[in-house]
Amino acid sequence: MRGVLRAELLKLRKRSAPWVLLTVLVLTQALFGYGSLYAVLQMESEELGYRDEQLRAHLMPSTFVGNALGALAGTGGALALILGALAMGSEFRWGTLKTIVTQGPSRLVLGGGKLIALAVALSAFTMISFLVAFGCSMVIAALEGMPVVLPSAGTVVAGLGAGWLLMSVWGSLGFLLATALRGTGLAVGLGLVYQLVIESLLVTAVPWPVRTGEAFRAALIGTNAGALGRHFGVLAGHGFLDAPAVQAAAVLGAYLTVFVLLAVLLLRRCDVL
């Protein structure tokens, strides 16, 4: 297992795709999570003569965990899905699966090693996203001349765990789709359509009977990711779910387990051509 993990990490590290995805995450977070909101804040005070104190508070170091989780639940999840699909799909596309399967590790170990490497990469994404949020909020606090109040260490650690969990759920979905569809393109496409379109249509566009609607809200990935984030101060969105953090985390954990098990099972059974 250790050898497989080291091989997978070497492959991820040397590949440009993960770095491109990470760059996109950092840039969107800095630009939209902080930059553009700070610009709005400036505009309000210059043109309208007042300041949205809630918005300003959202940009301060005390709430950087919630801000980072907001970015991870949105863009981050999409990027994680792409990374997960690439980690497996490319092996089919390049035909390298046969090369590594004949090296000797069992399919179980191979799938496990790949998924752990993906989880390691996604934890790095999560930590970097937190660092970016922290850095941006410190800069804004300095610009605003506000005192620096930091969240408690417990909040930061719990937040990192929440961020990693929701990134991993999307990442493992990408991995599963790539294994099932034996490639990258369709897996990424369908995964993103599900994540960005279908989930939100399910909770907002279908006139379900109230109780069915509630059940969907309680069961989808995006709504649970949102519910988890809200406990760290992420602003509530459309069609939100109001669930305890533990419940949301448990639902996400269940998704992660199912995706991982299905992916490994498929990998074990598939013919390698």
Partner 1 sequence: MESKNQTITIETRALTKRFGETVAVAGLDLEVRRGEVYGLLGPNGAGKTTTLRMLLGLVRPTAGTATVLGRPPGDGEGLAQLGALVEEPAFYPYLSGRDNLRVLARYCGVSATRVDEALCTVELSDRGGSKLKSYSLGMRQRLGVAAALLKNPQLLILDEPTRGLDPKGMAEMRTLIRAVGRGARTVLLCSHLLGEVEQVCDRVGVIDKGRMVRQAPVEELRAGGRLVVEAEPLEAAERVCREFPGVSDVEVVGGKLELSLDGDRAGDLNAALQEAGVRVRELRRLQRSLESVFLELTEEGG
Q: Which residues of the chain form contacts with partner 1 (CB under 8 A)?
A: 3-4, 6-7, 10-11, 14-16, 94-96, 98-106, 271-273
Q: How far is the CB of 61 from partner 1 (least distance, A)?
A: 39
User: Which one-letter amino acid corresponds to residue 208?
Assistant: W
132 and 68 in contact (C-beta within 8 Å)?
yes
Q: How far is the CB of 175 from partner 1 (least distance, A)?
A: 18
Give the CA angle between residues 253, 230, 193 to the nearest 5°.
60
The terminus-to-terminus CA distance of the chain in angstroms comes to: 24
Q: How far is the CB of 16 from partner 1 (least distance, A)?
A: 7
CA-to-CA distance for 233 and 70, rounded, in angstroms? 9
**How far from chain centre, in Å, is Cα 175?**
13
Q: How far is the CB of 125 from partner 1 (least distance, A)?
A: 20
| CB of 45 or CB of 103, closer to partner 1 | 103
Residue 48: which residues within 8 A CB-CB, separation 6 or more?
none
| CB of 105 or CB of 135, closer to partner 1 | 105
| CB of 56 or CB of 114, closer to partner 1 | 114
- In order, the DSSP letters of 193-205 are IIIIIIHHHHHHT
| CB of 109 or CB of 186, closer to partner 1 | 109
Q: How far is the CB of 21 from partner 1 (least distance, A)?
A: 15
Backbone angles phi, psi at 4, to 5 degrees: -60, -45
| CB of 95 or CB of 189, closer to partner 1 | 95
Nearest CA to 8 among 76, 95, 84? 84
| CB of 3 or CB of 244, closer to partner 1 | 3
Q: How far is the CB of 112 from partner 1 (least distance, A)?
A: 13
